[in-house]
Structure 1
Amino acid sequence: MADREELRRKVIEAIDQHRDRILEVAETIRVNPEIGYQEYKASALLASSIREFGYEVEKPAGGLETAFVAARHGRGDGPVIAVLAEYDALPGIGHGCGHNLIAASGLAAAIGLGAVMDHLNGIFEVIGTPAEEGGAGKVRLAEAGIFNDVDASLMVHHGGDRTDAPVEWPEGTCLAVAHVDFEYFGKPAHAAADPYNGANALNGVIKLFTGIDALRQHIHMESRIHGIITHGGDAANVVPKYAAAKFYVRAASRAYLEELLDKVKKIAEGAALMTGTEVKITEHEICYDMRPSYVIGKRYRENMEAVGMEISPRDPGRGMYSTDFGNISYLMPAVTGSFAISKEPIPGHSQQVVDASGSEFGYEQLIKVSKAMALTALDLFLEPELLAAAKEEHRNWDKLAAQ
C-alpha cells in the first residue's frame, strides 16, 4: 500500500489534472440555473461526469428524479464516506447561493478519491441531493434510506469572504426550520350589501399574523417566525371566501422548534374560531438544526491550511440560516467547510454571489477547498481512530451542546 503522503499527493494531482473539467461543470451549471426538483441538466451533467471516472452511478435515487448516488469501491471492506453535492438554484436569482460550486466540488472529490480508492478499504460516495433551497431533498433521501450505510458525510459551501471549518461549539450550528402553509375557508358575500352573511377568510389570515406577532414577545431569542400572505381574496367588494399564508418557523433546536410549531398551529386554529372560518394546516418536511462534527472539522481546517487556504473565521455564534444537511447531521458525523469566493463581504442569495461563484477567485478557491475536502475524506479512510472519535462525539452531542 502506498504511504500516506503519496496518497495525498495523488489526490491533489488528480484534481489539478482535471481542473478545467471541474470548472467547466461549475460554469455550465451556473449559467443554466434550475430550481429544486427541476435540476435535470445539472444532475445529469454531474452524474455522467462522475461516471467517467470509474464510479457506479444510481440515478434516479431515493425516488427523486434529480438525485443520484455515485459509488467507488476500495480494495476491501471499510467505512462508507460520502460527499454531498447540491445543484439547485434560487427562483428569480439563479445561483445566488453558489450551489454550482458545491456541485463541482462533488466532481472534484470524486476525481481525487478515485485516484486512490484501489489502495483503501471502504466505499467513497458522491450523493447528488436536489432541492436544498426550500425543498428538503436530503430529508426525503434520508427517509428513503439513502444514508443508512454512510459513516460520515462532508460538504462545502461558499462563505462570502470567509474561509473556515467549525472546530468548537457553537460554530457551524444553525436553526431548525419548519415550512407551514395555512389556508382559510370562509363564505363569500357582497361586502356592502350583505357582509353579515359572509365569513371573511382574509380576516382569519390577519388574525393569524397578529397572533404570531403577540407570540414573538415570548419566544427564545434565536427563534424566528416569518411569513407572507399568498392569497388575500379576489375582489375588494366581495368578502373573501379563501385566503392563504406561508410561514417559516425557526428555532435553535429541533425540540424547541416542535414546541414553537405547536403554539403557532394553536394560534391558527384560534384565528379560525374568532372569524367563523375553517383552517387547513399543511406541514412540510422539517429541517433540523446542524450538529457539526468538530472532530472532523478540526482536520478539515488543517487540510484547508495544507492546500494554501487562508483561514478567516466567521463571527462566533450560531448561523441564522437553515439547511436540510442538519437532518443528516443527526444521523452521522457531518461537517461543512466554508470558503471565500469574494475578497469583500457580499450578501447571501444575491447577484453578487452569482457573479462571485463564476469569478476567477471563486474558482481558484473552489479547487483548493475541494482538495481539502477530498483529503479529509482520505483521512477518514486511513485513520479508523479519527472516524471513531467523530462517532463518539456524535453520540454525545447533547452533552456537548449543554456545556
Structure 2
Amino acid sequence: MATREELEQRIIEAIDLHRDLILEVAETIRQNPEIAFQEYQASALLAASIQKFGYEVEKPIGGLETAFRASRHGRADGPIVAVLAEYDALPGIGHGCGHNLIAASGLAAAIGLSAVMDEIAGIFEVIGCPAEEAGGGKIVLQQAGVFDDVDAALMVHHAGHQTGVGTRYPEGTCLAVTELTFEYFGKPAHAAADPQNGINALNAVIALFTGIDALRQHVPMETRIHGIITHGGDAPNIVPHYAAARFYVRAATLEDLGRVLEKVRRVAEGAALMTGAEVEIEQGVTCYDVRPSYVIGRRYLERMRQVGMEIRWEHTGRGMYSTDLGNISHRIPVATGSFAISPEPIPGHSQQVVEAAGSPFGQEQLLKVAKAMALTAFDLLTDPELLAQAKAEHAHWPPSG
C-alpha cells in the first residue's frame, strides 16, 4: 500500500510526464478561439484527451452541446470532487481571459488523479463548462442537476502578474450581476409637421439613463450599473416609436442586487410615465456573487508553495467582476487558484492576455498551478476533516474572523 507522500509524488510525476500533451491542448485551444456555446473543437479535444486516461466521458450534458463530464471512480465509495474547465473565448479578441489555460488545467488534473484513483475512495470529475463569458453555462448545468452530487469544486484562473488564492473574507468574492433589457414603445409622427401627435420612445430611454445616473448617489458603494442604447430610432425626422437599452446591474451580494434591481425598475417605469411611452423589462441570466471556500483556499495555498510557485498576492478585497461560478459557490464549497501568466501587470480581456496565455512563462505557471489543484483535489478526496470543515464554513456564510 502506497504512502500518502508516494501518492502525491505520483500525481506530480504524471503531470510532468504528459506536459507536452497538456501544453499542446492549451495552445490548440488558444489558436482556435470559439465563443460562448460554440466551443465545439475545444470541448471535443479536451474530452477526448481526458478519456485516454481511463475516464468515463458523458457528452453532451445539461442540454448543452459543448458541455461534458469526465469521471474516474476510485476503489470505493467516497466524496465527489470536481474540477471545472472553461474554454470559451471573447468575441473579437480570442482567449483574452486565458480560458485555454483553464481548459488545460482540467486535463492536467485528470492526468494527475488518474495515477492514484485506483488506490483511493471517491470520484474525481472534470466538468467542461461552456459560456462563462456570456450565457452562464454553469448556471444552465446547475439547473439541469449536473452539480447535485458534487461535494466540492476547484478551478484555476490567470491573475495577470499575481499568484495566490483567497484565504480570508472578502478575498475572492465578486459582484452578483444580472442583465436587464428595456424596450420602450411610443407613437410615430412627423418630427416637424405634427410632433404633438407622437410619443417619443427615445426620450424615455434618455430619461432612463438620467434616472439611473441620479440613482447612483443612493446605492451601496460597490454597486455598478452600466448600459448602452441598442436602438434609438429610425430617422431624425420621425418621432421614435421604439427605443431600447441593455444594462448590467451589479452589487456586492445577491440580496443587495435584488434591492438595487427594484429601484432600477421603478426608474424605468417612471421614464415611461414621464413620456407617455410603454415599457417592457426583460431580466436575463443572474450570476451570483462568489462565496469562496477559505478552508480549501488555505490548503490550496500550501500546495501552491509546495510545487514551487512564488506567491505574489495583493489583498485587494472584493473583485469588481462577475462570473457564473458564483452560482455554484452558493451550492457547494468552491476555491479558485489564481496564477500569474506575466511577470508584469497586464490588463484583463486584452491582446496581452492572449499572448501571455501562450508564452513559456504562462505555460510553466499553468503546469505548476495544475499540480497544486490536483493535490488539493487529492486532499479533498482523502481528508474527511478538510471536506467537513469546508462544508461547515459554507453553511455559515460569511465566515467570521
Same fold (TM over 0.5): yes
State the alpha-carbon separation in 1 of the partners of residues 201 and 247 from structure 2. Answer: 17
- How far does residue 316 in structure 1 lie from its aligned partner after superposition? 2.6
TM-score, normalising length from structure 2?
A: 0.99
Amino acid of the structure 2 residue aligned with 1:299: R
Structure 1 stretch displaced more, 357-366 or 230-239: 230-239
Note if 1:257 corresponds to 2:260. Answer: no
The aligned counterpart of 2:281 is: 281
Structure 1 stretch displaced more, 271-280 or 122-131: 271-280
Note if 1:7 corresponds to 2:7. Answer: yes
Note if 1:164 corresponds to 2:164. Answer: yes
The aligned counterpart of 1:68 is: 68
Task: Map residues 362-381 of structure 1 onto 2, 5 A cutoff.
Answer: 362-381=362-381
Count of residues in correspondence between the two structures: 401
Question: Which stretches of structure 1, 4 residues or more, deviate above 6 A after TM superposition?
Answer: none
The aligned counterpart of 1:300 is: 300
- How far does residue 238 in structure 1 lie from its aligned partner after superposition? 1.1
Amino acid of the structure 1 residue aligned with 2:148: N
The aligned counterpart of 1:57 is: 57
The aligned counterpart of 2:125 is: 125
What SS does the corresponding residue of 1:61 show, helix, strand or coil?
coil
Structure 1 stretch displaced more, 271-280 or 215-224: 271-280
- How far does residue 134 in structure 1 lie from its aligned partner after superposition? 2.4
Amino acid of the structure 2 residue aligned with 1:33: P
The aligned counterpart of 2:232 is: 232
- How far does residue 239 in structure 1 lie from its aligned partner after superposition? 1.2
- How far does residue 315 in structure 1 lie from its aligned partner after superposition? 3.4
- How far does residue 363 in structure 1 lie from its aligned partner after superposition? 0.3
Task: Map residues 27-176 of structure 1 onto 2, 5 A cutoff.
Answer: 27-176=27-176
Amino acid of the structure 2 residue aligned with 1:254: L
Amino acid of the structure 2 residue aligned with 1:103: A
1:339-378 deviation line (CA, Å, top 9, x unaligned): 0000000001111001100100000000000000000000
Amino acid of the structure 1 residue aligned with 2:360: E
Structure 1, unaligned runs of 5 or more: none
Note if 1:188 corresponds to 2:188. Answer: yes
Task: Map residues 383-394 of structure 1 onto 2, 5 A cutoff.
Answer: 383-394=383-394
1:69-108 deviation line (CA, Å, top 9, x unaligned): 1111111100000000000111111111000100110111
TM-score, normalising length from structure 1?
A: 0.98
Amino acid of the structure 2 residue aligned with 1:372: A
What SS does the corresponding residue of 2:322 show, helix, strand or coil?
coil
- How far does residue 166 in structure 1 lie from its aligned partner after superposition? 0.9
Amino acid of the structure 2 residue aligned with 1:218: H
Amino acid of the structure 1 residue aligned with 2:285: E
- How far does residue 314 in structure 1 lie from its aligned partner after superposition? 2.2
- How far does residue 185 in structure 1 lie from its aligned partner after superposition? 1.4
Amino acid of the structure 1 residue aligned with 2:349: H
State the alpha-carbon separation in 2 of the partners of residues 288 and 236 from structure 1. Answer: 41
State the alpha-carbon separation in 2 of the partners of residues 28 and 294 from structure 1. Answer: 34
State the alpha-carbon separation in 1 of the partners of residues 340 and 57 from structure 2. Answer: 31
- How far does residue 182 in structure 1 lie from its aligned partner after superposition? 1.0
The aligned counterpart of 1:246 is: 246
State the alpha-carbon separation in 2 of the partners of residues 64 and 278 from structure 1. Answer: 36
1:120-161 deviation line (CA, Å, top 9, x unaligned): 111000001111112111111111100000000000000100
1:3-28 deviation line (CA, Å, top 9, x unaligned): 11111111111111111111111111
State the alpha-carbon separation in 2 of the partners of residues 314 and 287 from structure 1. Answer: 25
What SS does the corresponding residue of 2:122 show, helix, strand or coil?
strand
- How far does residue 114 in structure 1 lie from its aligned partner after superposition? 1.0
What SS does the corresponding residue of 2:79 show, helix, strand or coil?
strand
What SS does the corresponding residue of 2:226 show, helix, strand or coil?
strand
The aligned counterpart of 1:331 is: 331
The aligned counterpart of 1:320 is: 320
Amino acid of the structure 1 residue aligned with 2:177: V
State the alpha-carbon separation in 1 of the partners of residues 12 and 390 from structure 2. Answer: 24
- How far does residue 384 in structure 1 lie from its aligned partner after superposition? 0.5
Sequence identity, in percent? 72
What SS does the corresponding residue of 1:304 show, helix, strand or coil?
helix
- How far does residue 225 in structure 1 lie from its aligned partner after superposition? 0.5
The aligned counterpart of 1:352 is: 352
- How far does residue 265 in structure 1 lie from its aligned partner after superposition? 1.1
- How far does residue 272 in structure 1 lie from its aligned partner after superposition? 1.2
The aligned counterpart of 1:266 is: 266
Structure 2, unaligned runs of 5 or more: none
State the alpha-carbon separation in 2 of the partners of residues 45 and 190 from structure 1. Answer: 57
- How far does residue 244 in structure 1 lie from its aligned partner after superposition? 1.1
State the alpha-carbon separation in 2 of the partners of residues 230 and 92 from structure 1. Answer: 19
Q: Cα RMSD (Å) of the superposition?
A: 0.9
State the alpha-carbon separation in 1 of the partners of residues 281 and 248 from structure 2. Answer: 13
